[in-house]
Structure 1
Amino acid sequence: MKNINSNYYRLLKIVIVVLLLFFIVDYYVLSVAIVEGDSMYPTINPSNRLLFVKLPYFKNNLKRGDMIIFEAPEELNRDELFVKRVIALEDDQYLIDEGVLFINNKEVTECYVCDEEYLCKDYPYTEGVVGKSTVFVLGDNRNNSNDSRRFCCVKKDKIIGKVLLRIWPLNEIKVFMNPTN
């Protein structure tokens, strides 16, 4: 009887440690996000599951092309997370002219952008310089994205994490470590 109780106790300790580790990793290191909109189409689709890293050092090591998850800007009055692509970094000059993107006066080739004809809309932030501790972000589906063209740059302290890979659906698993995919 003592042996059975000690086995249950040992199993209970293992389960508690595993659950504790899971919650620590989920809260501080890695997490999963479910995509609801199509602003990142064709790279990411609605209902895709994304694994993203939350470690704070990624905020200071972002590259153009990285996909990030961040809190919706306050001016949108929405309690949700956004996923967008980093287009310009601190001190970069950006310009979007008739659907063509320029960073520091150089045209940027974007192979990941939805290839629908660009609809010229009036956005308040299509030209400027990225401020200190912020990034300029855009969705890959430029005709259907609520992004920095509307709410300007994203503060780094609002960034939750960097997208590493799509884990669902299983037949579409993809690693996003290279900023150009």
Structure 2
Amino acid sequence: MINDKSEVFEWLKALFIAIAFAFVIHTFFFTPVLVDGASMEPTLQDQDRMILTKVGEPKRFDIIVFHVTEETDYIKRVIGLPGDRIEYKDDRLYINGKLFDEPYLDEFKQEVIDGPLTHSFTLRETPIKSEVVPEGHLFVMGDNRRYSTDSRHIGAVPMEKVVGTTKFVFYPIGKIKIIDK
């Protein structure tokens, strides 16, 4: 009889530890996220499901999820880091005067027949109204440049609004992939 009570206690303890462990992992390290909309096409499709990593600082060209409002999150690509000068000319990205290749846009650039995929701009022509990305902020853009509400419209994203980075699509099963810039 005593053995049965201790066995039940051990099972309850193991269950509690498993639930606590899952909670900590979900809260502080990884969580699933749903892509809602077409702003990241062709890289990500509407309704793709991804794993969000909540550790580490975002790097240039990482895909991040950030809070726009308490109820709304966006998923975009990091283009500019604090202190960067961002400019687009002739559908080409210049960061601090250096030309950067964006291979993730090649598919869309080939399909565009009526002008550039990304219209020319400098940071001063965005809500940032500055020559450089402010300290503690990121400049983000969707890969579907013509149909993305991003830093060109909402301004730079404060680092404290960043939920995490994501690069692993786990659903739909037939499209499982790791996004590599």
Match of 1:92 in 2: 84
* Match status 1:50 vs 2:42: no
Of 135, 138, 150, the residue aligned with 1:135 is 138
CA displacement 1:73-103 (0-9 Å, x = unmatched): x5xxx72111111111111111123533221
CA distance in 1, matches of 2:51, 2:133: 27
- State the shift of 1:137 in Å: 0.5
Identical residues among aligned pairs (%): 29
RMSD across aligned positions (CA): 2.4
Displacement after TM superposition at 1:153 (Å): 1.0
Q: How many residues align?
A: 170
Shift of 1:164: 3.5
TM-score (norm 1): 0.83
Q: Distance in 2 between matches of 1:128 and 1:96?
A: 13
Residues in 1 aligned to 2:49 and 2:20: alpha-carbon distance in whole angstroms: 23
The TM-score normalised by the length of structure 2 is: 0.83
**Comparing 4-13 and 18-27, the one that deviates more:** 4-13
Deviation of the 1:121 alpha carbon: 9.2
Q: What is the aligned partner in structure 1 of residue 102 from structure 2?
A: 110
Superposition deviation, residue 30 in structure 1: 1.1
Unaligned runs of 5+ in 2: none
Greater than 6 Å deviation, 4+ residue runs:
none
Q: 1:170-181 counterparts in 2 under 5 A?
A: 170-176=173-179, 178=180, 180=181
How far apart, in 1, do the equivalents of 2:47 and 2:142 lie?
16
Give the letter for the 1:103 counterpart.
I
